[in-house]
């Protein structure tokens, strides 16, 4: 039996006795596995804070490699022992992407002192549990140290430093479970295949790479593999001049993280589509909902809302699902799918607030709160929310894009255009890339470069996903550039999607400040008969 100090905690009719290392209810001892009891003691003793997954591994498994499913199994058993479950979470609450917290009211007997959790060693004969079917968990990834091909000399350190940087940035994405470096870096040298790494660490994805010196360049190749199928989901190669390796390291890290932020959700959607709707868990429903949400049409938006509701039914404390549902109500107002846009904006705001309250470190939650403020015309406060989102996740391309768009309609064109250019560099295949390009049309109207504005406007309107507002922007940008025929063509395309589209609808969606650029757009729309 491991010594956890001497303390007796009482809560909801239970007594958790560290001195006797047992759990009792109404005086009767409850049979609990030692690891589950240790986990309970760790959570209850630290009820004033969240306990991270890494801390659980350190204390309960003495830092040994364990799968995500092993932690989930012990949490499930701990909840069952004290009459809780994953739906109610009345005593043990999941903090998505971070850890767990005991939220009951536990009182320690005054005479028993303070309980101090210590590490316990798992039996040396215990095997690392194999991962369970990942269909019931959020996506997970192990980032491995990169392999060195040949002699990289003094630059060999990049083989460890770059994946370590990537791990840190990926950890900011709360929808993705990232294995800690201490575990993933044990698989060095490429001797263990992705399938075995997936089994050992309980992860769905594996990011590996190679580093090779070629003359005056360092070649860095990376690949994202789905561990169960061994399929390569995405790969890329980067070349860095030796004199610029350290500067390029940050650029490569940024590019890899932004690519994974798009590629993993897209693959999650492909996986979810192969399963019946009744079998989708909270995370699968969430990712499938995002896919429908970004299509920007009324039918898909309604389906996205259903999937986010389904996600919340399976996990009532899922910040991302609250934020996604907020986005669908934002879209109802932005695209005028409903007759009462003000009510939709208010509903969107309430859901975004729930998302922030559920997880204040979730950038997607702050991002959706910022979108609500944008539609209300509260531009400066909206930009501060996008600042918060990007401070939590610097490579969050959509956060950078929205700050740029709102900066544009607030009249801050130069800073806004830099944000928009950055967003496109971060995520060139983003589901909202058409909107990023279209927003650059708006900044170039403010610059007085109408030819470039028309170029961006037409390019955006021909991209997949472009909606009626994007086509209207192409129309007035072409008009300002003197391309009358193109302007009429894009206006007709916008009117086919919404015969009633007009200046009021545009400025309700993009509440421009009273600036010269707004007056210019108003005149252009008037000239077009809008």
Per-residue pLDDT tens digits for 414-454:
999 999 999 998 888 889 999 999 999 999 999 999 999 99
More confidently predicted of 274 and 401: 401
Say if residues 307 and 289 touch (Cβ distance below 8 Å): yes
> Which helix (H) or strand (E) is 94 found in, with range?
strand 92-95
DSSP string, 490-502: HHHHHHHH-TT--
CA-angle at 224, arms to 220 and 229, nearest 5°: 140
Residue 117 scores a pLDDT above 80: no
Q: Grade residue 182 by pLDDT with cuts at 50, 70 and 90.
A: confident
> What is d(CA 74, CA 123) in angstroms, rounded to the nearest whole number?
16
Helices (H), 359-392: 363-375, 379-392
Tokens of 89: 């979470």
* pLDDT on residue 119: 35
Residue 331 scores a pLDDT above 90: yes
Average pLDDT value for the chain: 87
* pLDDT on residue 355: 95
> What is d(CA 133, CA 57) in angstroms, rounded to the nearest whole number?
20
* pLDDT on residue 125: 32
Domain 135-272 has CATH 3.40.50.10070: yes
Residue 168 scores a pLDDT above 70: yes
* pLDDT on residue 134: 38
Residue 267 scores a pLDDT above 50: yes
* pLDDT on residue 59: 83
Say if residues 463 and 434 touch (Cβ distance below 8 Å): yes
- pTM for the model: 0.68
pLDDT digits (tens, 9 = 90+) for 270-313: 988 888 878 888 888 999 999 999 999 999 999 999 999 999 99
> What is d(CA 481, CA 455) in angstroms, rounded to the nearest whole number?
9
Say if residues 227 and 203 touch (Cβ distance below 8 Å): yes
Mean pLDDT of 482-505: 95
Mean pLDDT of 313-329: 94
Within the chain, all domains assigned CATH 1.25.40.10 are found at: 276-394
Tokens of 88: 């109610």
Nearest Cα neighbor of 437 from 399, 396, 401, 490 is: 401
Residue 492 scores a pLDDT above 90: yes
Residue 359 scores a pLDDT above 70: yes
Within the chain, all domains assigned CATH 1.10.10.10 are found at: 8-112
* pLDDT on residue 265: 92
pLDDT digits (tens, 9 = 90+) for 27-46: 889 988 888 888 999 999 88
Tokens of 401: 């894009």
The SS3 of residue 28 is strand
Burial class (CB in 10 A: 0-12, 13-18, 19+), 224: buried
> What is d(CA 141, CA 351) in angstroms, rounded to the nearest whole number?
29
Highest mean pLDDT among 5-9, 179-183, 258-262: 258-262
Residue 115 scores a pLDDT above 50: no
* pLDDT on residue 246: 81
Residues 6+ apart with CB under 8 A from 339: none
Residue 500 scores a pLDDT above 60: yes
Q: Grade residue 66 by pLDDT with cuts at 50, 70 and 90.
A: low
Q: 423-530 sits in which CATH class?
A: mainly alpha
Q: 276-394 sits in which CATH class?
A: mainly alpha
The SS3 of residue 130 is coil
Residue 48 scores a pLDDT above 90: no
Enter the DSSP assignment of 209. E
The SS3 of residue 233 is strand
Q: In sequence order, what are the beta bridge partners of 30?
A: 23
Options 3.40.190.10, 1.10.10.10, 1.20.1430.10, 2.60.40.10; CATH of 8-112: 1.10.10.10
Residue 113 scores a pLDDT above 80: no
From residue 6, alpha-carbon distances to 9, 61, 414, 498 in Å are: 10, 21, 63, 70
Q: In sequence order, what are the beta bridge partners of 10?
A: 15, 107
Within the chain, all domains assigned CATH 3.40.50.10070 are found at: 135-272
Tokens of 317: 């404390």
* pLDDT on residue 121: 34
Q: Of 6-15, 219-228, 287-296, 440-449, give the lowest mean pLDDT range.
A: 6-15
Q: Grade residue 67 by pLDDT with cuts at 50, 70 and 90.
A: low
Mean pLDDT of 501-526: 94
């Amino acid at each position: 039996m491991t010594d956890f100090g001497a303390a007796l905690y009482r809560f909801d009719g239970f007594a958790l006795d560290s001195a006797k290392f047992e759990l009792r209810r109404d005086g009767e001892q409850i049979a609990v596995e030692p690891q589950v009891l240790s986990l309970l003691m760790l959570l209850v003793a630290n009820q004033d804070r969240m306990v991270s997954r890494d801390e659980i591994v350190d204390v309960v498994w003495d830092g040994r490699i364990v799968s995500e499913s092993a932690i989930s199994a012990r949490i499930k058993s701990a909840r069952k022992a004290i009459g809780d479950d994953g739906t109610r979470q009345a005593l043990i609450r999941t903090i998505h992407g971070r850890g767990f917290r005991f939220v009951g009211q536990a009182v320690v007997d005054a005479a028993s002192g303070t309980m101090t959790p210590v590490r316990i060693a798992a039996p040396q004969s215990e095997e690392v549990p194999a991962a369970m079917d990942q269909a019931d968990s959020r996506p997970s990834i192990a980032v491995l140290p990169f392999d060195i091909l040949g002699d990289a000399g003094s630059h060999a350190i990049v083989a460890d430093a770059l994946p370590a940087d990537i791990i840190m940035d990926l950890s900011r994405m709360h929808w993705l479970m990232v294995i800690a470096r201490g575990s993933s870096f044990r698989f060095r040298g490429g001797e263990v295949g992705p399938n075995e790494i997936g089994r050992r660490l309980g992860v769905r994805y594996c990011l590996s790479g190679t580093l090779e010196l070629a003359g005056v360049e360092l070649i860095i190749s990376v690949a994202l593999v789905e561990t169960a199928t061994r399929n390569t989901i995405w790969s890329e190669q980067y070349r860095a001049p030796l004199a610029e390796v350290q500067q390029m390291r940050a650029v490569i890290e940024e590019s890899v993280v932004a690519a994974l932020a798009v590629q993993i959700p897209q693959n999650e959607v492909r996986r979810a589509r192969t399963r019946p709707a009744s079998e989708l868990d909270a995370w699968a429903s969430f990712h499938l909902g995002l896919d429908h949400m970004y299509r920007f049409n009324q039918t898909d938006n309604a389906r996205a809302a259903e999937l986010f509701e389904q996600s919340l039914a399976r996990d009532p404390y899922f910040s991302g699902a609250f934020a996604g549902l907020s986005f669908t109500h934002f879209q109802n107002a932005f695209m005028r799918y409903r007759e009462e846009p003000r009510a939709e904006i208010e509903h969107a705001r309430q859901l975004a607030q729930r998302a922030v309250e559920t997880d204040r470190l979730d950038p997607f939650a702050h991002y959706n709160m910022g979108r609500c403020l944008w539609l209300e015309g509260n531009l400066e406060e909206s930009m501060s929310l996008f600042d918060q989102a990007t401070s939590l996740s610097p490579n969050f391309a959509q956060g950078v894009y929205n700050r740029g768009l709102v900066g544009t309609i607030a009249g801050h064109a130069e800073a806004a255009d830099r944000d928009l250019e950055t967003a496109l560099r971060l995520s060139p295949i983003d589901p909202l890339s058409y909107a990023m390009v279209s927003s650059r049309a708006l900044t170039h109207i403010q610059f007085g470069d109408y030819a470039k504005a028309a170029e961006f406007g037409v390019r955006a309107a021909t991209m997949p996903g472009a909606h009626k507002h994007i086509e209207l922007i192409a129309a007035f940008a072409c008009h300002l550039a003197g391309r009358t025929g193109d302007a009429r063509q894009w206006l007709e395309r916008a009117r086919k999607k919404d015969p009633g589209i007009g200046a009021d609808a545009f400025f309700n969606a993009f509440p421009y400040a009273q600036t010269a650029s707004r007056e210019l757009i108003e005149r252009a729309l008037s000239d077009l008969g809008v």
